[in-house]
Structures are given as C-alpha cells and as structure tokens.
Chain A
C-alpha cells in the first residue's frame, strides 16, 4: 500500500514541494492537500500586478484543478485544517474532514501583521496577503476615494501603487525616516520616494499609528502626535508573521517560526515544513527563491533519497512597480572595514552602490538601471574576486566585453514580442513569455527545455533570465545555493572533482556509487564530464570510455548537420610544405571531398566526408606525416602564429619556432573545453594572441604571457600573467597554466569564465609565486601527455574501434 502524504497549505512552497516530489518519484505517495483559501495554487507574489490591473487572477494561477486531478492529488480547498493529531497521525478540518498521514508537510505560510491599535478590527482595515484582500481593495476602489497604506516597505509600496492605479488617493504611512529600509540605503530610498511622489503618492514619514477612527467602517487614522488623515480604506503592510498556530497547538517546537533542520524536518521526524512558516538556522524567509530551494530539499527527503541539504539562502529583491527599476541584494549598508563603490547620475535617475569586502561583492543597491542586478548577485553568491575588473564593475557586465545584444540600457521588458532573443535557435521574446505564462515555468532550465532559448551557445542567458524575472516576478528561481552537475546528481562539479581525488575514484561506476547517482549510467551531460575528470586525474590508469564521449570525439571528426564529418589535419604552428598541400589535395580528390576551407586556426578543413571513409582517409594522411588536428575535441586545438622574424621586418624572437614548440608540447591533451594558443612576434600582435586561452607576445627583451582570452560568444581580452625571458620558461609556464586549468575548471568551462570565477590572483599564486607548485603542475602535465600524445587517426587507420566506422548492410 502506498504511504500517505498530507500537505497543509495549498500555496507556492507546499505545491512546489509536491511538484519536485512528483518529478523524483511520481508514485511514492497518496497525496491529500488542504487549502484554507477557495482557490487552486496561485502565484502570490503576482498579487501586486493584479491589484495594479496589469494581470488578472487567471493569469496568476499556477496549478489548475485539472493539474491536481491529473496527478491524482486530492485537493480540499476552502476548508482549513484546525487540528493536527500527532499521536494518531491525522489532521482534521473545520468541516470535520479527517485524513491520516504517514508523512505530514506543513506549508501554512504567514499572516500579515495587524497592528493592535484601537479600531484595527473596523470594516475597511485589511492586510495585503491573498486574493480576498485584493478583491476587497478592488471593490473599495470602486466605491471610495481615499486610501492609507501603513508600511513603506516592499509590500506596502506595491499596494499603494496598485491602489493609485485603481484611481484612489493614497497616503503611505511609515514609522521610520526612509522607505524600504530593509532593502535600500538612504540615497536610493530618497530617489525612490521622490519618484513615487511625482506619480502622486503622498508620504507621512516617521508617523506612528495610534488609532483607527470611524464607527463601523474606517473614516481616518490618528497618529501618536495627534494629527489625523482621512481614509476609507486602510491597508496594513507592516510585515508578516510565520503562521505556526497549528504547529504550536500540535506541540511542535516553534520559536519565531516552526523550527526545522537542514533537511526541512521539524522536531517530529514524520513532520516536515517548508516556506514562510519555518525558521531555519535562526532565519525566516519571506521571499520566494529560498522557498523553492527548501521545496527541493524537502521533496528529496520525502522520497527517501536523503542527500539534499538546505543551507540557507542569500536573497535579492526587486520592486514590482512598473516604471521603477530597483534591485537590492546582500549587505547593502557598509559595515566597518567595508569599501563602497558608488555611481550616481541624478539627472538620469541612476544610482548604483556596491559594498565590497576583501575584493568581493557583499551587497548591491541599484536604482534606475538594474540591468546588471543578476550579474552582481552572481558575483556575490559565488564570492568572485573582482580585483581584475574592479575599476569598471559599476559600468556593468557588458563593459567586460560582452559582444552584447544591442543597447544594454534598453530594458529587456521594453522590447516588442517579435524581438529575437536567442539567435542560435531563433526564439523571440513573445515565444518565451508565452511559454512561461502558459506552461507555468519558473526556472531557466525549464525555459530552455520548452523554448530552446539560451540552450545552445548560452550568450543570451542574461536576457532570458531578465524576461523570466519580468514575467514571473520574484517567483523566478534564480538563486539555487548550489547547482548539481546535471539531473543525475545533486553534487556540483567541484564536489565531484574533489571526491574523485580524495576518494581515489578511478572508474565512472565508482564515482556514481560513491556520490549516489540517481541514474544507473548517467546521462549525455554527466558521462562526458566524468570521463574527462577521470582522464585528467588518472592519466595512467583510467581507460577512456568511448561510449561516454560526444560523437565528435568518438569519431575524431566534427559531425556536420547532414551526418557527414569534417577532417582537419594538424599543421604545427600553421607551417606547411608543398608536399603537405599535395598530400591533402590528393586525399581530397580520392575521397571526392565536396568542400575545402582554410580555417581560422591556420589549417585546412575537408568537409562532407562519409563516416565509413574516415579510417582510409586518415591512413593516407598519416602516411603523409599528418596527425589529427583535434579540431573536433574538447582539447588543445591550434597554435596560431604570425609571419615571424624570418620574414617580418618588425619581428622579435623566433616566434614561429616557439609556436611549433608549444604545439608539440600540448597537442593531444584533453581539456575541459577547447583550448587555443597563439604566438605573436611583436606587440603588433598579428596572431591575435590576446584573445586566446594562452597567448605569447614576443618583445625584444623576452616574452609576455597572456591568459584567459576568448574570441567566441563573449569576446574577452586576456589578462597579463607575467613576462619571462627564455623559451624554456614559456614552455614551463604554459604547461603549468594548462594543467591548472585542466585540474580546476568545470567540464565545458573555457579559460575565460574560469579565470573570472577563480580570479587572476589565484592563478598567479599557483603558477608564478609558488615555484615548486609550478614545477609540479608542469611535471603532471608532461606525465599526462605521455598517454595523450598517441595519434587517434593512426590508431584507427590501423583498425582500432573498427565497429565505430563500419555499417552493416542488409538488402
């Protein structure tokens, strides 16, 4: 018989937990849901736009009644649970419905705090919490004129804005001297206040409410100083209190909220709790991103996987008042020893402040221009060292060299529905917005799966995130505290790499067993990653698994859209002879190659080769002295060189010769992603060494070494690592840097984002300052190369993996 799960609270956190649970194990429970409100689950954070008339209630329904029916969930709405009996393991509702449980999930959310002043129970005094409150406000706006909102926080201002849009005159009453003091510093708060004032909102600051006036219905508010203001409607938005009455009555340990541990379990092991009603490590959360993280963890434990932990959340806030852009995250008021970076442009209404500690972002407040909010938030969460781009950080991410999608200052939400967002897959803004609202999507992953937007090269990820945030509001699940490698595991790339090293795990099965993989043989994203990590860590022992390689690396050619392959022989340093070219020409004739092209990496690409012709073609090429160019792999690709000192009148050093040496050193090595080098003979830099993963610029006195450049999706100029004097040093530093990247970067992370993630200082420490470490890295690189520099083409031309290339024929 199936176990019984009862959920009390039909809101976002609880239902999200059910969705996560159904994803993991659809048949694990017989589920009953109790909701106090008469509606199915809706997006509570979108109540403000409903009040402002920008959305309807139907727009914000997340799970229709059909959803519950389809999933076999019993929904009892409009009948609140009034008792939990833990001894008998059942719950009872007001109308007398009794349901037994094996596991109980409490997600009762929170209640608006109503200030207990005289008259607080008069008609026309409400909180701002649910659909009923919104309906009351909408009705009031039809019959009455004057509204008072008590509370100048996020919720209060959204309520005031909505009421104003409905035609009411609104006074906002705030106890303190600045608005939204929990999210904004004083400067941003003042900007916000004056902007709202120009829209007609009136403020009564530092006003303490003493009494609500009127007979049955409210007629006004009196303050502690004796002054009064007239009102037909009073909305109290002074905060929320976790709704823990039921839990307390049932004897569960509660403090400010229902106390839970890192697995979202209460003091009764059969009872879990998520959402605004809980207190975790001393914190209660009122924003939605943390609730979704909690939901994930609770679901994981309810289906008895038992591996996820909730470790608390860093949150960020956006005000949902159309036309006002505001963002805040982290510790936005500087403490002792903190530094602040401020950009202020009063006439444009722009204010940006970052709080910095030890070269890391600790907090951010943005007003007027919030385009980079997500970026700052990412830097904050990941603890990125910003010293390399500190001087320009306030100008935003695009200033780092994003090729960009048009005018960054134009807000994404202002774009028309027909604007193309994802250039790879041809997805327009309208498609994304439709998918989000019709299919109820909340995460970037879901949007990618349904629309394909940002699922190819990923350069439009920021835009898609902005659309997601704009469409679903705070519901957008942008801040998982940590991200699993793929759907098969909760463990992050770093955790997997550490486990492989620490546990001396040397097979894929050992990794999957040690880290509780959810699938028996992984998936198309984790298998290639694990194969690489094992190969990079145990070059001598690990046996490469062909079936875990993407087809390009298995067939040693690039698959093209018609299923044929392209072949690129290696030309060391881009040098070639007449005989080399003749051999390539002969091969091209013999196998009827339909198209040839000179590549950007200074070699020749032969397109349109049938897979079964590959081994024979490789044999002809290896006979002529070529080896594979690895143009298909997450591997060392090419070393680009310029004309060089032999011919160029500006050349210094033997740059072309050095290029050949570097290519001889590094060819054949597998990498987290593709890896390109270049050597320029003088600072004119004709080989474009400063947009390569490792670039050398020769100068009269030696060699400048540059790292972390990228000419692809997002152009990034290299950082200067150091200057050295001899070729031997170039080779050693190159090998050491490459090995550090091979050991530390995540699979499919190029050097540019890796350098930005770990910081240039870290790389300098490892490669420059610690000489012994540099030599050790270089040694490990050379050791790995012993096993990697075996030409895959020659091996296959001699018959290795023949089954891969031979089709079977039947008539």
Chain B
C-alpha cells in the first residue's frame, strides 16, 4: 500500500471512533512509536459518567502515554490525546484545546464532529482525519470539513468494521481519500513516522 500524498508537512492527526472501535484503536496505539512526530488527537464515544478507567484501558497496549487534556492545554508535538468524558473537545487557533459542556451533538458528548471541525479550522490542509467503526453518523460532517479544507481523509474499511454506520456516513458525506483496514492505517502511520526522520 502506497500513499503518494503523504509528506512531512502534516501537523496533526485526528481520530474519531465509536461502537466497535476500541480494538482498532488499541491496535493502532500499540504501533505508534515513542518518537512519533505529530500529535494524535482522539475523540471516542465513551460512557459519559465514567471519568476513570478508559484511559487506563487504552494505555495498556499503547506505547505512548495517552493524555486527557485540560481546558486550554497546549497541543504538543508527538503527544497522544483523548477527549475527556462528558466534554466536547475543540482545537483552537493558538494550537491549544478547549473543553465545553454544550448540548450533545449527534447524541454524543464528546462529539466527533466538533473535534474534527475545529481541528480542520485550525490545521487546514495540514490535517489527517481518520474515522473508525461506529453506530451513528457522528464524524461525517467533520470529515467533510477536513476534505473541504484540503486535509487528508481516511475511513476504516466498512468490511473491517464491527459496525459500519459511521464510515459509511462519512463516505456518503464527502469524497473520502482512502478506505483502509486497521492494518493499513497502521502502515500509513509508519510511513508518516519515516517521512519525518
């Protein structure tokens, strides 16, 4: 698998996922090396009222530490971030996070659309958006924004998903660049890692 559009100008990766994405995410994180060059920002649907446990579960397989950012925390190179439970996570123009308790979007808080759209507004064509397995349409609008702003869009291959509603909604919403199995998403990240050396 080759990705000709990859280069070392990308500034961040955002990943959205919901039902059935946990395994895929942990496999991806188990392959992201410690010196991975750009931030990975994850917005995953999770239990709203369970503050602890999820990050620990993700960390078991992850090489890198997974961080739930504080409100207004700066985004640092090569860190892995996770949207905290029961907050929307936005990315601001000054390259920092902000949190909010606004109404749920697509029945979700955190909503993937919010994280993806605000990341796209900030990073424009220097952003890679990845949308994984899930049972609703959250993330489709965000992927559309990323595409409109010239970023690179990737969805998990519906056939590789436990629940394919989410990637299919994104495929219907915009012209997605790549439809990949988790294994190929891992290869793409390895390719990025190489390009920045």
| A, B assembled together | no
